[in-house]
Structure 1
Amino acid sequence: MKKYILFDHDGVLVDTEQWYFKAGERALAEIGLVLDKEQYLLDMGQGAATWAQAKRAGVDDRTIDGVRRVRDAYYQEYLRTESIEVDGVVDALAELSQLARMAIVTTSKRDDFEIIHEGRQIVQYMDFVLVRDDYLHAKPHPEPYLTALERFGAEKDEALIVEDSSRGLQSAVAAGIDCAIVYNEFTKSQDFTQARHRIARLADLKELILR
């Protein structure tokens, strides 16, 4: 039986990844660039950001810095105005909290995370949250999940990571921790061959935890 669950955030607990892409797409369109979704997902899987395509197109860092600020504003607009709920998440967390201790390990910025969780009931089930400001190396580096494991004082075989992206899966594999991939329409085309478990929804975690 697993005693600890380490949740990725975007795409697992809230449906935000499509809006992050759309914010970048909208911002880059203002400087005449089209953000190709398929290439974006490939870059994302390797730990690259929205700006990988822009850099390959020869856009300079100063311009990218300006576009990034525009993207961030659009993203926060979407977080405040669009539906980002994932059906069944709160009920699943309430049940899982009776079986294991839980934490969120996310690459979200703290400001974005706080906007997302205004009025939501997700964080109450977590022992703690690690956002991008809380560690040096982002996924696919193992540091985020190893930091969470150390925070719990847990052994690797006591924990289960829940992810929806190949970048997150690579982080879990590098950390040496079991990983369950939950289905996400946005990231379904990514490579999940290294995942030990595949689930359709968070409610399916109960069976994995009790094994």
Structure 2
Amino acid sequence: MKKYILFDHDGVLVDTEFWYFKAAERALGEAGFALDEEQYLRDMARGSGSWAQARAAGIDDRTLGRVRDARDGYYQEYLRTEAIEIDGVVDTLAELSAYARMAIVTTAKRADFDLIHEKRRIRQFMDFVIVREDCERAKPHPDPYLAGLKRFGATREETLVVEDSARGLASAVAAGIDCAVVHNEFTKAHDFSRATHRIDSLSELKDIVLRQG
């Protein structure tokens, strides 16, 4: 039985991965660069930033600084206006809270995370949240999930990570923690061969958590 669950955030608890891409695509487009979605996903899987393609094409850091500011603004616009709910998340978290303690470990920036959760009911089920600013090295490094173990005082064996991307899976594997990958249409082409479990929705987590051995 698993006693602790460390949830990734974007693409797992809220449907935001696509909108982060669209914000970057829009900002780069205004700078005259067309962001390739398939390459973006490959870069994402390796833990590269949104700007890997642009840098490879010779776009300078000063321009990228302006693009980044624009991307951040567009992303927050989308967070306010687009439908990012994932059906059944709150009900599933309420059910799981009877069996396990839970927390969020995310590469989301604190400002974006706080905006997302201004009017949502997800945080009430979480013991703590670790955001991008809380770790020097982000996923795919193991540091964020190791920090989650430390905060809980938990062992690897009694903990489950829930992810939706190859970058996040790599972080969990490097930390030595079992990982359940939940289906996300945007990241479905990633390599999840090292996942402990593959699930279609969070509703399947209860059986995994209660499984013995």
TM above 0.5, yes or no, is yes
Hey, what does 2:22 align to over in structure 1?
22
Q: Distance in 2 between matches of 1:46 and 1:65?
A: 22
Q: Distance in 2 between matches of 1:201 and 1:89?
A: 9
Deviation of residue 49 (structure 1)? 1.1
- Number of positions where the alignment pairs a residue of Structure 1 with one of Structure 2: 211
Deviation of residue 52 (structure 1)? 0.3
> In angstroms, what is the RMSD of aligned CA positions?
0.4
Unaligned runs of 5+ in 2: none
Hey, what does 2:47 align to over in structure 1?
47
Unaligned runs of 5+ in 1: none
Hey, what does 1:167 align to over in structure 2?
167
Counterpart residue type for residue 126 of structure 1: M
Moved over 4 A (4+): none
Hey, what does 1:156 align to over in structure 2?
156
Identity %: 69
Deviation of residue 12 (structure 1)? 0.1
Q: How does the TM-score come out when normalised to structure 1?
A: 0.99
Q: Distance in 2 between matches of 1:146 and 1:196?
A: 18
Q: Distance in 2 between matches of 1:60 and 1:35?
A: 16
Question: Which secondary structure state, in structure 2, belongs to the residue aligned with residue 71 of structure 1?
Answer: helix
Q: Distance in 2 between matches of 1:86 and 1:118?
A: 16
Question: Which secondary structure state, in structure 2, belongs to the residue aligned with residue 174 of structure 1?
Answer: helix
Counterpart residue type for residue 78 of structure 1: Y
Is 1:112 aligned to 2:112, yes or no?
A: yes
Counterpart residue type for residue 174 of structure 1: A
Q: How does the TM-score come out when normalised to structure 2?
A: 0.99
Counterpart residue type for residue 142 of structure 2: P
Q: Deviations over 1:73-110 (max 9, x none)?
A: 00000000101000000000000010000000000000
Hey, what does 1:131 align to over in structure 2?
131
Deviation of residue 31 (structure 1)? 1.0
Counterpart residue type for residue 133 of structure 1: E
Counterpart residue type for residue 16 of structure 1: T
